[in-house]
Amino acid sequence: MALWVLSGHRSELQGLSSLFSHLHWWWLPVAVAVEAASFVAFAGVQYRLLSAGGVYPPVIPLIGMTVGAQAISNSLPAGAALAAVYGYRWFRRFGADETVSAWALIGTGVTAAVSLALVAAAGLAVAAELGASLDLIGAVIGVLLVTLAVGGLFVYERPLAVVVTWSVHTSRRLLGRPRGDVAATIGEVVQRLTVVRLGWRDIGAILGWGSANWLLDCACFAFSFLAVGADIPWEGLLLAYGAGQLAANLPITPGGLGAVEGSITIALVAFGGDRTTTVEAVVIYRLISFWAELVVGWAAVGIGALQVRAGRWPRSVAGLAPDLRHELGDGPEESPLPSMETGTEQREVGG
């Protein structure tokens, strides 16, 4: 099944042989380096979320888990759901209890969506006229408003309680579920989604890591132009990238933007870019960000599985105690992640 899914991406590799004659190889290590840095930044999002819940995971295994989860998501049927289960199990192995693990997973998704919308909005601000020509202004602003609203619900308990209460009552009227004590159900959902209270500095640091993830991935795309001997189309690059990633990651995007590769290519060509060099740059970018990531990601999955078999990590996470975090995780004073924070605030941790 995985091979069948991947077969849909074979077109990205067609035409690679024609690139070899004029490829500027020295730009490839730079592109690979910034793409690797983008995964480190995404791991930084998860590190900050887990540390806000009192869990300090070891960084190298966390990065390996991040790349592995991405490979699972990109290559298996129902990959996003399987990647979430994979990430949850590793959060438990890192010492988080069930509630904090679920909260961190939700927070990771919310952060990715909000930070991507912010990057796309920044690209729109840089190339507003180009965005208007492709009718992207309404789509990008609409997605930004929606994701900011979702982020607000994740952070603030009162509006979340209102939305959850309405959703549960509506579901019960229409579907007859959930059964039992509705008030208890509402309280449990709200408690799980607000188990950690984030301060403004925490939010800023998390969004900083999230934005760095997308910007570094965009930088990989920019260096791909240099690798094929073309100039970087600075004016429309960030907007085209943001629109393409919104198409891939947010299926509710207004206007029904196409797949990521097609959206980026069409947008840049519409902005005046050369079609041939744009397609070649997209091929190089996808070779690094998709195909090479699959190889590295599945290798990380295999290494993690071998470590579990060797007893480095618990085989089952069902019975892990919450205080295991102090045995498996690094203390905050020993955190090897480079700091993007400006301070630490008191947090209430429930559950």
Q: What are the average pLDDT values for consecutive 10-residue runs of the chain, which has 351 residues?
A: 47 55 87 97 97 94 96 87 94 92 92 92 77 63 82 74 70 70 67 76 95 96 92 84 75 42 64 72 88 94 95 76 44 44 34 32
pLDDT at 16: 54
pLDDT recorded at residue 131: 55
Is residue 170 classed exposed, middle or buried when 0-12, 13-18 and 19+ CB atoms within 10 A define those classes?
A: exposed
| Residue 201: predicted pLDDT | 92
Nearest of 155, 202, 197 to residue 344 by alpha carbon: 202
Smallest CA-to-CA distance from 307 within 65, 73, 55, 37 is with: 65
Cβ(335)–Cβ(344) below 8 Å: no
CA-based nearest residue to 71, from 155, 137, 5: 5
Give the pLDDT confidence score for residue 269 in this predicted structure. Answer: 66
Confidence at residue 341, expressed as pLDDT on a 0 to 100 scale:
41
Q: Is residue 178 reached through a cis peptide bond, with omega within 30 degrees of 0 on the bond before it?
A: yes
**pLDDT confidence of residue 51:** 95
CA–CA dist 86, 121 (Å, integer): 31
pLDDT for residue 260: 58
Q: Give pTM, 2 decimals.
A: 0.78
SS3 (DSSP) at 311: coil
